[in-house]
Amino acid sequence: MTEKVFYQDSYLKTYHSEVVEVVDGGVILAATIFYPQGGGQPGDTGRLTIGGRDYRVVDTRYAEDRARIVHRIDGADLGDIRAGDAVDMEIDWQRRHRLMRMHTSMHLICSLIDAQATGGAVGETESRIDFDLQGQVIDKEQLTAALNQLVEQALPVTIGAITDEELDRNPGLVRTMSVQPPRGQGTVRTITIENTDYQPCGGTHVRNTAEIGELLVTGLKNKGKQNKRISMALVEP
Ligand SMILES: [Zn+2]
């Protein structure tokens, strides 16, 4: 199982670990700061340095067991890499930080819309989220203003944990992306935005909503009978 260092600290840009296994097209490490695709957030990109050689990480994904994390490396010969080799890693921080800002803004939008989210995708500068609105009407300008108010309030964002049993008793907590958090490890990671949003989430977030910067609701589209797709973007990329 890969240790998820990004779970405790999403701000680490570099880290040191060792190789556990070389798989087809990628490398598995003992611990990583690379976020694997999930919950609507894309996998991280960056660089691994092993034995004095740099390897470009083009994507990060969970292995099929959902426990190990594969750093995907394109077009490089991995034949010299051995289990136990020391690794220096660096993520593409500018990209990741934008994804953190966008991901955190998904929580803000969830707090403003009283409906079940049915899917979503976090992008580098623009994201979308689908809601089962049941006929509720959304006003683009109003929603933009409400989002920016939450950004301006500079609300702290904190990481916590909930037990599997507590979560089973409160299924309404699972609100975004229609993804059920992984159970079976005793606890599930949670994210709290002060006085605004609380839900299980495994993604990477900024520490304070002020870091998101100005947001703009860019689109409202019908997606099927009940579903509305809301798009929003970072004004300062
Ligand atoms: Zn989240």
Ligand 1 centre to CA of 203 (Å) is 5
Ligand 1 centre to CA of 75 (Å) is 32
The mean per-residue pLDDT over the stretch 176-184 comes to: 59
Ligand 1 centre to CA of 225 (Å) is 27
Q: Where are the beta strands (DSSP E) in the chain?
A: 3-4, 14-23, 26-29, 31-32, 46-50, 53-62, 69-73, 86-91, 116-121, 126-132, 157-163, 187-193, 197-200, 215-223, 227-234
The residues, ordered by sequence, that sit 6+ positions from 112 with a Cβ below 8 Å of its Cβ are 143, 146, 147, 150
Ligand 1 centre to CA of 200 (Å) is 8
Q: What is the mean pLDDT of the chain?
A: 92
pLDDT in tens, 41-54: 999 999 999 999 99
Ligand 1 centre to CA of 41 (Å) is 9
Task: Check residue 178 and give its pLDDT.
Answer: 45
CA atoms within 13 A on the CB side of 178: 11
Work out the percent of the chain whose per-residue pLDDT is above 90. Answer: 76
The residues, ordered by sequence, that sit 6+ positions from 3 with a Cβ below 8 Å of its Cβ are 17, 30, 31, 32
Task: Check residue 170 and give its pLDDT.
Answer: 82
Distance, in Å, from the CA atom of 37 to the CA atom of 35, rounded to the nearest integer, reads 7
Task: Check residue 177 and give its pLDDT.
Answer: 47
Task: Check residue 165 and give its pLDDT.
Answer: 87
pLDDT in tens, 82-128: 999 999 999 999 999 999 999 999 999 999 998 888 889 999 999 99
Ligand 1 centre to CA of 43 (Å) is 14
Residue whose pair of structure tokens reads 């995708």 in the numeric block: 121
pLDDT in tens, 119-146: 899 999 999 999 998 888 899 999 999 9
Single-letter residue type at 89: M
The mean per-residue pLDDT over the stretch 200-225 comes to: 93
